[in-house]
Structure 1
Amino acid sequence: METNEKMKSFDEIVALIDNARNNAIKKANEELIMLYWNVGQYISQKVAAAEWGDSIVDELADFIKSNYPKIKGFNRRRLYRMKQFYETYKDNEFVSPLVTQISWTNHLTILSKTKSMEEKELRLLKK
Structure 2
Amino acid sequence: MKELVSSNFYNDVKNIIINARNKVYHYANSTMIYAYWDIGERIIIEEQGGKERADYGKKILHELSLKLTEDFGSGYDERNLRRMRQFYHIFPIRDALRPELTWTHYRSLLMVENETLANTI
User: Given the two structures, how large is their TM-score scaled by the length of structure 2?
Assistant: 0.74
Q: Please identify runs of 4+ aligned residues in structure 1 that moved more than 4 A.
A: none
Q: Structure 1 unaligned segments of length 5 or more: list them.
A: 117-127
Q: What does the per-residue CA deviation read over 1:44-81, in whole Å, with 9 as the maximum and x for residues that have no partner?
A: 1222323963232223223434xxx1412111111010
2:79 aligns with one of 52, 77, 80: 77
2:12 corresponds to 1:12? yes
Cα distance in 1 between the residues matched to 2:65 and 2:103: 19
Amino acid across the alignment from 1:86: Y
Percent of pairs with identical residues: 24
1:7-60 alpha-carbon deviations (Å, 9 max, x no partner): 112211111111000001011111211111110011112223239632322232
CA distance in 2, matches of 1:90, 1:11: 44
CA RMSD, 1 decimal:
2.6
Higher relative contact order (CA 8 A, sep 6+): 2
Task: List alignment gaps of at least 5 residues for structure 2.
Answer: none
Q: Residue type of the partner of 1:59?
A: E
SS in 1 for 2:6: helix
